Amino acid sequence: MQKVYLSNYELDEAKKIYFDKLKLRLQTEIVNTWDALGRVTTKPVFAHLSSPHYNSSAMDGIAVKSEKTFGASDRNHITLTEGEDYVVVDTGDPIPREFDCVIMVEDLIKVDDRHIKIYQSSVPWQNIRPLGEDIVENQLIVPSRHKIRPVDIGALIAGGINTVEVFKRPAVGIIPTGTELVEPGSELRVGDIIDFNSRTFTAQVTEWGGIPNRYSIIKDNYKLIKDTVLKANEENDVVLINAGSSAGREDFTSSVISEVGELIVHGVAIKPGKPVMLGIINDKPIIGIPGFPVSAYFVMEEIVKELIYSYQCLETEERKIVNASLTKRCMSSLKYHEFVRVRLGFIGGKYVATPLTRGAGATMSLVNADGVLEINQHTEGIESGTEVKIKLLSAEDKIKNTLVCIGSHDPIIDIAADIMHNRNKKYFLSSSNVGSTGGLMALKTSETHMAPTHLLDMETGEYNVSYLKKYVPGKKICLVKCVNRIQGFIVEKGNPKNITKFEDLLRDDVKFVNRQRGSGTRLLLDYNLNKLNIDPQKIKGYFREEFTHLAVAAAVEAGDADAGLGVYSAASLMGLDFIPVCNEEYDLAIPEEYMDSEIVKEFLETIKSEEFKDKLDELGGYDYSNTGTIIKLQELM
Ligand SMILES: Nc1nc2c(c(=O)[nH]1)N[C@H]1C(S)=C(S)[C@@H](COP(=O)(O)OP(=O)(O)OC[C@H]3O[C@@H](n4cnc5c(N)ncnc54)[C@H](O)[C@@H]3O)O[C@H]1N2
Ligand code: MOO
């Protein structure tokens, strides 16, 4: 096994060492002005032409000699003759030399085809755009190091500039490596990984103004990697090589860079992203990007973006920062500066930030992130409730128009979210699945607008009410009835193990997959096991916990479990069979203070809509006869 000793430079230090060593030489090129959007000028650009380049009429009307109009008034109309005293002009027409002003058509009284009367006198240059009124020949249009905007393109062309000299966009070679990688759309075998990183890089490079050049997947073979690196180095300004950055048996990237060039840095104190490699081959940069997609994202954002911008003489824009209250404690290593993806909600007039999954492989944590919390290298962690600074990834407007929904999961919440957004494009919904009890806790600490819940009171057989009284005391809560849904066993197609009742879970040949503690479905299971005097410990798989109905169904589909308890829709979406066990009430708990907000009203309209009900029918297993009924909880207490 090879040994790799990584350095642990702070990010800024690593970048300084690397950029100093790189000494980028910027290249320039000449492009058509109309193709220059977003490009940066190398020098100031001066007009070749004046605009307008002749004296032109600013109005539709007639060009006249102003002296011929002197003395005209309401009581003293002056008659003018075409050809002698005036010519007809339209806006933009040149003004013949002998005339010096324009009278608008609406100020003329027609006498006959060749004569008009006027009742106002005019002054010289009235309604005339003199030559150079907008741009004068040799005037500066844009300075050097200026990023060209659409309005600049117009002004440059108007000023006679048809080409501009700009900094070259760097060509960026992207090499995905790994024997286990396959192209999207391939038939997947266990161990295969679809190469998607190289496609994300391609899109990022494009977004940042570079010219991406993706190479096909290279297997973990030293010679192949070396040959491709050399080829890419020759054909591009920058090379990005993905994966093979750590200490695995087939992690060759660092040795290849060291052999054909110089490896300046291997290892930066950031997490994720620590095994990044910064190298130089033939005076051109090569960056080794860790394989895990989230690690790769931060290396791209924090290092590669700046590099690609530097070639174009662009400054990276700072992301906006907002203050938010952290909803969960976040521990961090003293060894690394950590990037934590967070979801933001705007609740009761302030931001709340909920950390998302920390794993470096969790691509969805990037998809769902509204911002990034950076935890300093020398900080051990941040307590829940602390006010933190969040770098925004989403627009503030979007966050402020997002209904936050934390609690128990059902696929119908995502469906309602989609319908609501289509009904009113302004509104979004973000849902986090933490189980029913987790949702009530979030209500208590004002982290959510709404908590879907289905908690069965084992003593009374009633749903939700007693739990709300217990977990959210003192808060005025409305319970909005959502659906009555069927819970049952999600089993393989055809139910090969013939699982029909709770007792079957005790069988030796049956492997179960459970939901997490605190979820309503878990309570429902425990309630039934208790009623039947079944010892949960005797159920194989009782301790394997998944967080959503779909995750339970996925475990059954993959053959990792024979049964799980969940909703019908999850089974049918995965093409599995479903054995009904009981009905339950899935409700939405919403603090009374949010009930009158536009977004909550829109959501409640959505769940009462025919479109939503049609979707429920399509999924099956839902009864919506009570949907939208509001129960003010105080009245129940
Ligand atoms: N013994 C050690 N193991 C690991 C260490 C370590 O220090 N010691 N570091 C870990 C860290 S941190 C990271 S980050 C990763 C870096 O991995 P590599 O750059 O060597 O990449 P691979 O091992 O080849 O792949 C890891 C993982 O990344 C995903 N991947 C890779 N390529 C692609 C692609 N083109 N598209 C999508 N996904 C890709 C895939 O899930 C791989 O399993 O190493 C840890 N290990
Ligand atoms: O650096 Mo790795 O990127 O921590 O996961």
Q: Quote the CA–CA distance of 199 and 186 in Å, as a whole number.
A: 15
How many CB atoms are closer than 10 A to CB 425? 9
Residue 292 CB less than 6 A away from ligand 2: yes
Q: Quote the CA–CA distance of 317 and 205 in Å, as a whole number.
A: 15
Closest ligand, as measured to the CA of 274: 2
Contact call for residues 293 and 365 (beta carbons, < 8 A): no
How many CB atoms are closer than 10 A to CB 613? 15
Rounded to the nearest whole angstrom, what is the distance from the C-alpha of residue 493 to the centroid of ligand 1? 36
Contact call for residues 342 and 373 (beta carbons, < 8 A): yes
Q: Is the pLDDT of residue 491 over 90?
A: yes
Q: Is the pLDDT of residue 519 over 90?
A: no
Q: Is the pLDDT of residue 525 over 70?
A: yes
Q: Quote the CA–CA distance of 170 and 313 in Å, as a whole number.
A: 11
Q: Quote the CA–CA distance of 373 and 371 in Å, as a whole number.
A: 7
Selection from 228, 295, 288, 238 nearest residue 263 by Cα: 288
Q: Whose CA is nearest to atom 2 of ligand 2?
A: 272
Residue 290 CB less than 6 A away from ligand 2: yes
Task: Give the least confident one: 61-75, 276-290, 454-468.
Answer: 454-468
- Name 151's bridge partners: none
Rounded to the nearest whole angstrom, what is the distance from the C-alpha of residue 359 to the centroid of ligand 2? 9
How many CB atoms are closer than 10 A to CB 610? 7
Contact call for residues 148 and 313 (beta carbons, < 8 A): no
Count of helices and strands (H, E) across the chain: 17, 38
Report the atom number in ligand 2 closest to the C-alpha of 336. Answer: 4
Rounded to the nearest whole angstrom, what is the distance from the C-alpha of residue 56 to the centroid of ligand 1? 67
- Please say whether the dihedral angle defined by the alpha carbons of residues 67, 73, 75 and 79, taken in this order, is positive or negative: positive
The predicted pLDDT at position 114 comes to 94
Residue 431 CB less than 6 A away from ligand 2: no
CA distances from 265 to 42, 197, 233, 258, 291 (A): 31, 22, 18, 11, 17
Q: Which of 271, 277, 298, 300 to mutate to test the pocket of ligand 2 (most atoms within 8 A of CB)?
A: 271
According to DSSP, the β-strands at 193-194 and 181-182 are parallel
Q: Quote the CA–CA distance of 195 and 177 in Å, as a whole number.
A: 9
- Please say whether the dihedral angle defined by the alpha carbons of residues 503, 435, 417 and 552, taken in this order, is positive or negative: negative
| Architecture of the 321-391 domain | Beta Barrel (2.40)
Percent of the chain with pLDDT over 90: 86
Q: Whose CA is nearest to atom 35 of ligand 1?
A: 195
Pseudo-torsion of CA 611, 598, 624, 425, nearest 10°?
20
The predicted pLDDT at position 249 comes to 62
The predicted pLDDT at position 251 comes to 74
Closest ligand, as measured to the CA of 199: 1
Residue 293 CB less than 6 A away from ligand 2: no
Task: Give the least confident one: 35-39, 67-71, 291-295, 517-521.
Answer: 517-521
Q: What is the mean pLDDT of residues 497-502?
A: 95
Q: Is the pLDDT of residue 493 over 90?
A: yes
Closest ligand, as measured to the CA of 361: 1
The predicted pLDDT at position 245 comes to 75
Q: What is the mean pLDDT of residues 111-117?
A: 95
Q: Which DSSP letter does residue 593 get?
A: G
Instruction: List phi, psi (to 5°) of 382.
Output: -130, 135
Band of residue 5 on the pLDDT scale cut at 50, 70, 90: low
Q: Is the pLDDT of residue 506 over 90?
A: yes
Instruction: Establish whether domains 28-52+134-167 and 56-129 are of one fold.
Output: no
- What pLDDT digit, counting tens, does each position of 262-293 carry? 999 999 999 999 999 999 999 999 999 999 99
Rounded to the nearest whole angstrom, what is the distance from the C-alpha of residue 529 to the centroid of ligand 1? 43
User: Which residues, judged by CB distance below 6 Å to any ligand atom, belong to the binding site of ligand 1?
Assistant: 176, 178, 181, 193, 195-198, 242-248, 251, 272, 274-275, 290-293, 295, 360-361
Q: What SS3 class is residue 625?
A: coil
Q: What SS3 class is residue 210?
A: coil
- Name 34's bridge partners: none
Structure tokens at 188: 């997947």
Residue 272 CB less than 6 A away from ligand 2: yes
Checking phi first, is residue 72 left (phi over 0); if not, alpha (psi -120 to 50) or beta? beta
Predicted structure pTM score: 0.86
Task: Give the least confident one: 1-15, 136-150, 225-239, 425-439.
Answer: 1-15
Q: Which of 193, 198, 297, 298 to mutate to test the pocket of ligand 1 (most atoms within 8 A of CB)?
A: 193
Give the type of residue at 247: A
Residue with tokens 């600013």: 58
The predicted pLDDT at position 615 comes to 94
The burial class, CB within 10 Å (0-12 / 13-18 / 19+), for 479 is buried
Residue with tokens 């299971």: 525
Report the atom number in ligand 2 closest to the C-alpha of 360. Answer: 5
Rounded to the nearest whole angstrom, what is the distance from the C-alpha of residue 419 to the centroid of ligand 1? 38
Q: Quote the CA–CA distance of 517 and 547 in Å, as a whole number.
A: 9
Q: Whose CA is nearest to atom 41 of ligand 1?
A: 292
Contact call for residues 239 and 232 (beta carbons, < 8 A): yes
Task: Give the least confident one: 222-231, 461-470, 591-600.
Answer: 461-470
Q: What is the mean pLDDT of residues 148-164?
A: 97
Residue 268 CB less than 6 A away from ligand 2: no
The predicted pLDDT at position 246 comes to 73
Rounded to the nearest whole angstrom, what is the distance from the C-alpha of residue 361 to the centroid of ligand 2? 9
Closest ligand, as measured to the CA of 201: 1
Q: Quote the CA–CA distance of 531 and 501 in Å, as a whole number.
A: 13
Domain ranges of the chain: 11-25+170-311, 28-52+134-167, 56-129, 321-391, 423-636
- What pLDDT digit, counting tens, does each position of 588-626 carry? 999 999 999 999 999 999 999 999 999 999 988 899 999
Percent of the chain with pLDDT over 70: 98
Q: Is the pLDDT of residue 635 over 60?
A: no
- What pLDDT digit, counting tens, does each position of 436-455 carry? 999 999 999 999 999 999 99
Q: Which of 197, 268, 274 to mutate to test the pocket of ligand 2 (most atoms within 8 A of CB)?
A: 274
Q: Quote the CA–CA distance of 258 and 622 in Å, as a whole number.
A: 62
Q: What is the CATH number of domain 423-636?
A: 3.40.190.290
Distance, first Cα to last Cα, the chain = 67
Q: What is the mean pLDDT of the chain?
A: 93
Report the atom number in ligand 1 closest to the C-alpha of 289. Answer: 19
Q: Quote the CA–CA distance of 68 and 70 in Å, as a whole number.
A: 6
Residue with tokens 């959503």: 548
According to DSSP, the β-strands at 321-326 and 350-355 are parallel
Rounded to the nearest whole angstrom, what is the distance from the C-alpha of residue 391 to the centroid of ligand 2? 20
Q: Whose CA is nearest to atom 4 of ligand 2?
A: 272
- Kindly report the CATH class assigned to 28-52+134-167: alpha beta
The DSSP line for 547-558 is SSHHHHHHHHHT
Q: Quote the CA–CA distance of 248 and 4 in Å, as a whole number.
A: 9
Q: Which of 255, 292, 366 to mutate to test the pocket of ligand 1 (most atoms within 8 A of CB)?
A: 292
Closest ligand, as measured to the CA of 2: 1
Burial code (b: 16+ CB inside 10 Å, e: under 16) for 221-259 equals eeeebbebbbebbeebbbbbbbbbbbeeebbbbbbbbee
Rounded to the nearest whole angstrom, what is the distance from the C-alpha of residue 292 to the centroid of ligand 1? 5
Residue 176 preceded by cis peptide, ω within 30: no
Q: What is the mean pLDDT of residues 626-631?
A: 94
The predicted pLDDT at position 504 comes to 96
- Kindly report the CATH class assigned to 11-25+170-311: alpha beta
- Kindly report the CATH class assigned to 56-129: mainly beta
The predicted pLDDT at position 1 comes to 42
- Reported ipTM: the value is 0.97
Q: Is the pLDDT of residue 62 over 70?
A: yes
